[in-house]
Amino acid sequence: MKELDCLFVYPGAPAGKKNLLPIMPAGLLAMAAYLERNSVSAAIISLPSALDGEFDLPGIIRERRVKLVCIPAHWHRQAGGALRLAEQLKRAVPGVRIALGGYTASRFAAEILKEHPAVDFVVRGDGELPLLKLLGSLGTGGRSLGRVPNLAWRGKEGVTLNRTSYAAGSATLTGLGLAGLRFVLNRRLTPRRGICFEDGMFTYVQARGCADNCSACGGGRDAQRRMCGRRGVALKSPASVVRDFAELAAMGIKEIQLPLNPLPSDAYYIALLKLLMKKKLRPVLKIELCGLPSGKLLKWLGRALGPESKITIFAGSGSEKIRRLNRGRFYTNAGLMAALRLASRLGVKAWTAFTTGLPFETRRDFLATAALVRRMRREFKIGRSGVYVFSLEPGSPLFEDPEKYGVTLRRRTLKDFLAQRGKYDMGYSTACFTEREIVRNLKFLEKTAR
């Protein structure tokens, strides 16, 4: 059997737990493609979508003489599964080298290396060049580990955190396209869950980084700079995104989700929609927007996309005061309602996502959200909004500076995050509401939105 340099394994949730985040982080595709382009062999296995008995991981590692196993601990809810898998593999194949990566691993790199001996390395931030250099270093007996960018490693003197000096740029991401899909070993490449699909939609990540800094978001500007060394947003060019959509369409995948937009301007999406029209491509798109869509963007959405497509606007609170204090992109409720009316006239399906439990929220603000949800129901007849609560994200502004936001954290360390259970275990309370009260408020809003 052909030797394999680098094996990425996505574990999903810890055994026996509901996988609250079923999507494999898209970075795995980019890293595998980058390594292959640099003559390093790579493969990806997604365990949640594997058939029964499809993969004998210890057998593969031994037979293909895998030099490095990489496990994503990206979202905090996946960190427990990643550590458990690392321990299982180290027990089964004691000499195997294991690296963790992703946001959560980046934030808690030192803690992971000190407390989890099964993990040999943590790659903080982007992993394309660091993994290439790490594999090169392992080939020479690990002598140059200190020069691998973004690497955290355990040496005789303890844990060393190398500088986070690498972040993939727009040209790198654009050039890699969807090449990484070829390296996924799962036989079912288009399952509903577990690879890059959520609710049957392919999650296409068009960018890395964000220009904003919302209070509860662990992927915002400052978090990315602190944890990953990223300065600025890297975007795939609209032309390359359209090429990738055509490739997905040729594979029979026509439903695509574009997650949270990293730039406040609509220009990128408008350029993308114009190109889609020019190429006569009409995928079913679900576009998530952190800001308010302009009238121009809504018109292009109406023109370029079919009736099945939709946008989701993440509004945060229904109280303008709370939105201003917590979200990077502010708009008024009048602006939001005007955009929804225009979307409705243009035949663009629009959904607004609200949350409760944001810092500084009072009962009056919570009632303002309920009133706005009711108003939307009255005006648009059908439900136009959904409600969610967020659990504390490592690296988010409120995690790093709880006093500034007037919140009390119940989780500070990796160990605390590993102990969380269920979607209502949020890990913080605000000046006005306990966790239990936030959940009660959420359930009230959910009923109001139905």
Binding site for ligand SF4 (CB under 6 A): 210, 212-214, 217, 219-220, 260, 290, 328
Q: Looking at beta carbons only, is 211 or 281 nearer to ligand SF4?
A: 211
Tell me how far, at minimum, the Cβ of 281 lies from ligand SF4, in Å.
26
Q: Looking at beta carbons only, is 88 or 294 nearer to ligand SF4?
A: 294
Distance in angstroms (rounded) separating the CA atoms of residues 345 and 425: 40
Q: Looking at beta carbons only, is 175 or 328 nearer to ligand SF4?
A: 328
The 10 Å CB-count burial string (b at 16+, else e) for 92-108 is: ebeebbbbbbbbbbbbb
Tell me how far, at minimum, the Cβ of 328 lies from ligand SF4, in Å.
5
Q: Looking at beta carbons only, is 260 or 367 nearer to ligand SF4?
A: 260
Tell me how far, at minimum, the Cβ of 219 lies from ligand SF4, in Å.
5
Q: Looking at beta carbons only, is 130 or 397 nearer to ligand SF4?
A: 397
Q: Looking at beta carbons only, is 162 or 203 nearer to ligand SF4?
A: 203
Q: Looking at beta carbons only, is 190 or 213 nearer to ligand SF4?
A: 213
Assign 3-class secondary structure to the chain.
CCCCCEEEEECCCCCCCCCCCCCCCCHHHHHHHHHHHCCCCEEEEEHHHCCCCCCCHHHHHHHCCCCEEEEECCCHHHHHHHHHHHHHHHHHCCCCCEEEECHHHHHCHHHHHHHCCCCCEEECCCCHHHHHHHHHHHHCCCCCHHHCCCEEEEECCEEEECCCCCCCCHHHHHHHCCHHHHHECCCCCCCCCCCCEECCEEECCCEECCCCCCCCCCCCHHHHHHHHCCCCCEECCHHHHHHHHHHHHHCCCCEEEECCCCCCCCHHHHHHHHHHHHCCCCCEEEEEECCCCCHHHHHHHHHHCCCCCEEEEEEECCCHHHHHHHCCCCCCHHHHHHHHHHHHHHCCEEEEEEECCCCCCCHHHHHHHHHHHHHHHHHHCCCCEEEECCCCCCCCHHHHCHHHHCCEECCCCHHHHHCCCCCCCCCEECCCCCHHHHHHHHHHHHHHHC
Per the structure block, which two tokens stand in for 367? 């009632």
Tell me how far, at minimum, the Cβ of 292 lies from ligand SF4, in Å.
12
Name the β-bridge partners of 355.
Answer: 388
Per the structure block, which two tokens stand in for 150? 């973004």
Q: Which amino acid is at 439?
A: V
Q: Looking at beta carbons only, is 220 or 229 nearer to ligand SF4?
A: 220
By DSSP bridging, strand 428-429 and strand 408-409 are antiparallel
Q: Looking at beta carbons only, is 81 or 262 nearer to ligand SF4?
A: 262
Q: Looking at beta carbons only, is 191 or 395 nearer to ligand SF4?
A: 395
Tell me how far, at minimum, the Cβ of 213 lies from ligand SF4, in Å.
6
Q: Which amino acid is at 187?
A: R
Q: Looking at beta carbons only, is 189 or 260 nearer to ligand SF4?
A: 260
206 contacts: CB under 8 Å, gap ≥ 6: 235, 236, 241, 258
Per the structure block, which two tokens stand in for 270? 């408008």
Tell me how far, at minimum, the Cβ of 79 lies from ligand SF4, in Å.
19
